[in-house]
A and B are shown apart, each in its own frame.
Chain A
Amino acid sequence: MRRVLLTEMRRGEAGKVALLAGAAGVWYLLSADVAVSDWIGWWNQASIKVQVFGVIVMGSLMSATAAWTAGRARRTRVDAWSDTAPRGGWSQALLLWAAAWLWSLLVYAVMAAVAFQRTAAVSEVTAPVWSPLVLGAAMTGLQIAAGVCAGTLLPSRITAPAMGVLWYLVFVVLAFLPGLSLARLFPALDEHWDATFQPHTARLLVAALWCAAAALAVLALPALLRRPVFSPGPLAAVPAVLALAAGGVLLTVRAPVGEPFWAVRAEQPAAPVCATEGRVRACLWPDDRHLLPQARDAARAVDRAVGALPGFRRDFRQTGLRPAGPDSAELPVYRPVLDSATMTEAMLGSALPPRPEGCAPHMLRETGGYPDAFLVEAVVNSRAKLVTPYYGDQFAAVLERVLATPAADQDRWLSAAADAIGRCRPVPAPPR
């Protein structure tokens, strides 16, 4: 089969379309700005990015191409003699599918290499994540198989574009129905997995098995429906049974409420990586050790701004890390690459104690009716030399006045304000 497969890969349309999709994919991955990207630097996210592009864009295109190629036998009337061959419809469909899928895998591998290379340039650990990629490859196989099936059964010129649009719509519609169990059978993992999460490898591999088995079973359908004289043998039942079993598992398994289906919480690291400056300590997931310099700068800035003030929190733990104590604050890191100012802003945002649950914010008439915590944050941010949001002239005037007061007065007011916020009381009047 090797030579015939290579011929089909060389002469069929799948290669051209796969290369086109690959070019678009590589451009998409290369053009991402590292400073604002939500994936360059995180291995999980890099894998998901390739997978989701592979499935939604390349998979849809390749499915359309497969439908076109599969309709070729009828359009060119080759089926008048190929339907009398001892290699029946299933074998012929497998050949077309394999040719298109191999092209997809080739392009997919290039895209994965580009995404991982970009991530490796940022991250200080090397931990490529494979399971979402395996699922994406299998899902592309299922999409191509559906294209071959549709193209064989309905060899109209409209079938190919219809298949492409259909797949795209499936993913769009399923994206709006996140709770739908059926969506697990058509996985395009457009999720955000920061260091807190790890892929649920077992579920991803079961889903990959479902996709691969369903692809092989779907490929047998045209032969079963169209060529009753020479239907696929009992072997066709094997992928069908496997697909039913794997699909059944996917539909019946339940994830804990509020948790993603395809990921699990990562285990706590034995030793998170931490930066300590003065009285401030910031700890990160080991995979995010590349952010340590920014964490150090931020810790220094926070120490300058609120270092000695009672009431403020100075121990920061990246989201998902176990708190060191009741005074630990969560440090949210939404992107794999942050500058020092953004990290400082995130730390200062967490430095104020949280309001007790059910505590409504108190409005400060003097600032124009904004919550009193806004003024406290603005003062702290200004002391750390961060840009503060503009809340109007009245607010700005009060801020300027507070910052003009002696440092000792500011410190006293900030400590009292932090204490008040933590106790759900209105902050004291700003110093004059």
Chain B
Amino acid sequence: MSVDSHTTAGGSAPTANVEGATVRYKTVVALDGVHADFHPGTTALLGPNGAGKTTLLSLLSTARQPDQGAVSLLGAPVRGRANVRRVRERIGVLPQSFGYYPRYTVREFVEYAAWLRRVPSTERAGRVREALGLVELERYADRRMGALSGGMLRRAGIAQAVVNRPALVLLDEPTVGLDPAQRIGFRTLIRALGERSAVVMSTHLAEDVAQVCDHIHVLLEGRMRFTGSAAELCAEADGHDGTTLDGSAVEAGYLAVVGRNGVPV
């Protein structure tokens, strides 16, 4: 399904909504009038480097506001201190290069994240346990963050992102740098997250998209060029039989969208 204007990917009320968002970095237009809805389930943001994926995530995470257009999250516009604060209490963010304090233990670090997300102090210990349980890090709760492997660090990152039971989880390239076994485990985790929250995942790994995502947005040169399901993206490729839904089919569909829009890859 090609997109030129505002489209929705589902019938339910969107968890997040971007209306004609434009973001400029000096002379570079990172996002150019982007419209998009994000619904419960897992949504992939696909696009080459520089397409505007991270910028779109920064709008959804309230880290910045669009130069033009509007963003609303969880039914509230991302404007005004009180709104932004309420929204931030209900989102979780795992950036591409996940930063952490190496001297903190895993438990302390997730507890710190819970404090930052304003989890009530009476519930904090329980939420930390719950988040560590979700990412299967309870056994390592007292280990220093600096002593964790790459895969465990990424799990700790997920734990900090979900400790507030967010309605919207934003993951920027969450599986990059993981070995194949870790990546498979991570996909399971993301699928589980998608069952309780709206997950928006920026990636350029087609296999992740095929395995995990319910919805797909393709961003090219700051514009939203495709919105639909994985099956619909696969169908964009010539000769696709409509039955296979794997990484290579997603990749073929993605390349077809890219080619149709004349974007060099």
Contact = CB atoms under 8 A, between A and B. Distances in A.
Interface of A: 1-4, 7, 11-12, 72-73, 76-87, 92, 229-231, 233
B111 A86 contact: no
A430 to B, nearest CB: 79
B116 A11 contact: no
Contact of A79 (B84, B99, B161): B99
Interface in B102-119: 102-104, 108, 111-113, 115-118
Interface stretch (B19-27, B59-67, B254-262): B59-67
B139 interface: no
B160 interface: yes
Contacts of A12: 103
B63 A84 contact: yes
Interface string B97-141: 111111110001001110111100100100000000000000000
A7 B108 contact: yes
A127 B112 CA distance: 44
Nearest to B103: A11
Contacts of B121: 1-3
B261 to A, nearest CB: 30
A81 B81 contact: no
A72 to B, nearest CB: 7
Given A77-B99, A84-B93, A87-B116, 6 more contacts: A76-B101, A77-B97, A80-B96, A81-B99, A86-B84, A230-B84
B253 to A, nearest CB: 31
B84 A81 contact: no
Interface of B: 61-65, 78, 81, 84-86, 88-89, 91, 93-104, 108, 111-113, 115-118, 121, 124, 160-161
Given A73-B99, A76-B99, A79-B99, A229 B63 contact: yes
B116 A229 contact: no
B107 to A, nearest CB: 9
B118 A87 contact: yes
Contact of A81 (B85, B89, B93): B93
A80 B111 contact: no
Contacts of A82: 116
B150 to A, nearest CB: 15
Contact of A233 (B61, B81, B103, B118): B81
Contacts of A7: 104, 108, 111-112
A81 B160 contact: yes
A87 B94 CA distance: 17
A92 B116 contact: yes
Contacts of B118: 85-87
13 contacts: A2-B121, A3-B111, A3-B115, A77-B95, A77-B99, A79-B99, A80-B93, A81-B93, A81-B99, A82-B116, A86-B86, A229-B78, A230-B62
B181 to A, nearest CB: 26
A230 B99 contact: no
Given A72-B101, A84-B63, A230 B111 contact: no
Contact of B115 (A76, A80, A87, A230): A87
A229 B115 contact: no
B101 A11 contact: yes
A11 B108 CA distance: 10
Which of B61, B99, B103, B118 has most A Cβ within 10 Å? B99
A4 B115 contact: yes
B161 A230 contact: no
B100 A1 contact: no
Contacts of A79: 99
B100 A11 contact: no
Nearest to A75: B99
